[in-house]
Structure 1
Amino acid sequence: MGKSIDTVCIHGKDVRRFVDNTGSISFPIYQTAAYAHPAVGESTGFDYTRLQNPTREEVERIVADLEDGIDALAFSSGMAAITTLFELFKPGDHIIVTDDLYGGTIRLLDHVNKKNGLQITYVDTSDLEQITSNIKENTVAIYIETPTNPMMKVTDIEKVAKEAHEKDIILIVDNTFLSPYYQKPLLLGADVVIHSGTKYLSGHNDTIAGFLVTSREDLSEKLRFLIKTTGAGLSPFDSWLLLRGIKTLALRMDKHQANAIEIANFLQEHKKVEQVYYIGLPKHPSYDIIKKQCTGFGGMISFTVDSEETAKNVLQKVKLIQFAESLGGVESLITYPIYQTHADVPIEKRLAQGIDERLLRISVGIENAKDLIADLAQALEG
């Protein structure tokens, strides 16, 4: 009988690899760079921590199990994971990418990958027609965020996967905002899933990490070669922090969501709020797709206020909610995308997506919802 996901968060699907004889409940931190060989031609299974480490191997096992993949690779950051992923491609390859995308990914694509010969086309991937009409003979991958950062657009993963696989195109999905607790792209047909492990998987705003998860043996083999070669693997201590954080993923995600629903409803009714972007609201344009492919809505909300002055007042006057640009931790954070997460995105591209001086984004934490609403209320009225 398969284990429930909240159990998998703690134990994985199978018994963990036996690497010590102490009976330690907490998986040990193997803080070592190298491993001794028993004899010539013999190995313990570990040779050098750049290649693999028992603590990193354990967190990779848990994340692969959570995403129902065959392999997961842990990286030193989400951007290290994405950078390594794009080494799968060669100059002249064409990739279709979600237009409303995390600013750091856009920076990588526009200033590094294009320089290296990749062809990038940005489209609204929530519109399948925009994807299909932009596929070329040299299109090798489709890269989507769903929901997107920060405008919360949703792409139908299953439909895009069907279109991609008919043309032998790899489908890549950034699943950071919902985590495997609420969305499993591999089961919907994706080939690779990306996580900024810094966010919900870690959950405590105390470490940086990234993950690639795949359901394909050929991609696993290629990515293993790349992580070994580029040296971007996650350190033993950070791997342990991720293991500890993931144990409470199910509990945290349920609380993030419960709080977010209350806050989204509050914001919808506030006179200074003009638009609320939250995938848990029935008025979301992709609500039917969300209900089909997700088991929950998560804790990310973006909203537009009536003026730039109001936005800046909120950022200055929040007390419990902290003005910072990360997300997915137990503490609630509020971000100003135009000057933080998307500061390096050209202004015309920002404005075209609705990322202007009136847009704010909240990563809803696990504090008491009434306390969070009271803080927003006083900040909006200030």
Structure 2
Amino acid sequence: MAKDPRAEDPRNWEIETRAVRGGMARSPHGEISEALFLTQSFAYDSAEAADARFGGGPGFIYQRFGNPTTAMFEERLALMEGAEMCRATASGMSAVTAALMGLVKAGDHVVAGRALFGSCRWILSNLLPRFGVETTYVDAPEPEAWRAACRPNTRAFLVESPANPLLEVSPIGAIADIAHAAGAKLVVDNVFATPIFQKPLALGADIVVYSATKHIDGQGRVLGGAILGAEALMTEAYKDLLRHTGPALSPFNSWVLLKGLETLELRVMRQTQTAARLADAIAVHGKVRRVMYPGRADHPQAAIIANQMTGGGNVIAFDLGDRAQAWRFLNALQIVDISNNLGDAKSMATHPSTTTHRSMPEAERLEIGLTEGWVRMSVGLEGAGDLGRDVSRALDAA
């Protein structure tokens, strides 16, 4: 595998060029589309070569440790994020779990935003306590809440911004300052904003995590995840953890996600344009009590959004009052799918209380304002007029 000898320093490229050419390493065949190395292990020219490779020399050893196709995906995503290093994982949740486990040990403490994906709450509330790690939940947009929650043994902060499912946005820079003053690392789940609209590392975060299943794939095909950060921290916290616990991303999934990155900016920009138009239309419908969309001026954290995001993204949340009306809306859709995924080329909507956040106790859902009237919609690439007609018709039915 060889880098293009003609290539400029990719760190000087615009994000669109990074998305298409970042990390490109060609075999001697000179392929244009990146090669898929569908192999579990690798051969060595001699016993001495195997010894050198296992001793830390260049080259690949075993798929769990690394793969040429996966390495291209990692390098490309790192370039797009502005990170020194990326490590791919088998799913978004494996990325979140590893990101936290690499930073804490028995007796440590985590501070996390209250508004989190249901599985993230389960990790913090059910899994980490088994290993002696406690978590305090806070209202994430309030910096002083983070400061007040810190303890001498606080080692990690976790925040989603925008958060799932009601799109709460938190001041990443201010939270990072508080974390660092307390001797903790800040982990930001950036999946809703994508690297197109928000750069948490540039704002002060230590680690960024993604479910690559969402926008990075963008076509509903494969699972994947990623952890990104500075090389020293990534090596210290995650190199051995990922090698020995094995949440490896398959080469095939790596290749699909690598190709997904090529069109990420195009897709997300188009989806966001349509989402902004739909959010405005939904907001004025008589059946809708409230709309949450980071691209609207009436978002509660509009000032924070203006400071750290360059676009509103493709996800909208809106409150129809109760479960019956939310379900009537969903059941009346004729183009938009009912599905719990997001970031796809196809538009989809879900009822978070009974799907993505079902595992959260009702009291915890109410703490983040998630009542049973809320619908979360991920806007796809269909025609804006068609989506507007479908949503309007379903709102009338609600």
Q: In 2, distance between residues paired with 1:261 and 1:41?
A: 60
State the shift of 1:306 in Å: 3.3
Give 1:4's aligned amino acid. Answer: E
Q: In 2, distance between residues paired with 1:147 and 1:268?
A: 19
- Contact residue 125 and residue 144 of structure 1 kept, 8 A: yes
Partner of 2:256: 241
State the shift of 1:342 in Å: 0.3
3-state secondary structure, aligned to 1:41: helix
Partner of 2:324: 309
Q: In 1, distance between residues paired with 2:265 and 2:311?
A: 11
State the shift of 1:216 in Å: 4.4
- Out of 31, 38, 48, the position equivalent to 2:45 is 38
The 5 Å alignment of 1:189-204 reads 189-204=204-219
- Out of 13, 21, 25, the position equivalent to 2:28 is 21
Question: Does 1:379 pair with 2:397?
Answer: no
- Contact residue 59 and residue 240 of structure 1 kept, 8 A: yes
Partner of 1:53: 67
State the shift of 1:167 in Å: 2.5
Partner of 1:157: 172
Give 2:196's aligned amino acid. Answer: Y
- Give the ranges of 4+ consecutive aligned residues of structure 1 lying more than 4 Å apart after TM superposition: none
3-state secondary structure, aligned to 2:324: helix
- Out of 13, 26, 38, the position equivalent to 1:3 is 13
3-state secondary structure, aligned to 1:115: helix
- Contact residue 315 and residue 379 of structure 2 kept, 8 A: yes
- Contact residue 100 and residue 156 of structure 2 kept, 8 A: no
Give 1:337's aligned amino acid. Answer: P
Backbone CA RMSD of aligned residues: 1.2
| CA displacement, residues 193-242 of structure 1 (integer Å, 9 cap, x when unaligned) | 00000001111111111100012413333312111011111000000000
Question: Does 1:77 pair with 2:91?
Answer: yes
Q: In 2, distance between residues paired with 1:35 and 1:327?
A: 36
Give 1:50's aligned amino acid. Answer: R
Partner of 1:280: 295
Q: In 1, distance between residues paired with 2:271 and 2:336?
A: 14
More divergent stretch after superposition (108-117 vs 175-184): 108-117
Q: TM-score, normalised by structure 2?
A: 0.93
Q: In 2, distance between residues paired with 1:335 and 1:32?
A: 37
Partner of 1:139: 154
The 5 Å alignment of 1:1-382 reads 2-12=12-22, 16-18=24-26, 20-42=27-49, 43=53, 45-88=59-102, 89-382=104-397
More divergent stretch after superposition (70-79 vs 85-94): 85-94
Structure 1, unmatched stretches of 5+, are none
Q: In 1, distance between residues paired with 2:328 and 2:74?
A: 42
- Contact residue 321 and residue 374 of structure 2 kept, 8 A: no
Identity score, percent:
34
Structure 2, unmatched stretches of 5+, are 1-8
State the shift of 1:336 in Å: 0.5
- Contact residue 214 and residue 220 of structure 1 kept, 8 A: no
Q: In 1, distance between residues paired with 2:272 and 2:235?
A: 32
3-state secondary structure, aligned to 2:377: strand
3-state secondary structure, aligned to 1:133: helix
- Contact residue 75 and residue 81 of structure 1 kept, 8 A: yes
More divergent stretch after superposition (75-84 vs 173-182): 75-84
- Contact residue 191 and residue 216 of structure 1 kept, 8 A: no
Q: In 1, distance between residues paired with 2:124 and 2:322?
A: 32
- Contact residue 99 and residue 209 of structure 2 kept, 8 A: no
| CA displacement, residues 278-305 of structure 1 (integer Å, 9 cap, x when unaligned) | 0100111211111111111100110001
| CA displacement, residues 75-109 of structure 1 (integer Å, 9 cap, x when unaligned) | 11011111222222101110000101000111122
3-state secondary structure, aligned to 1:279: coil
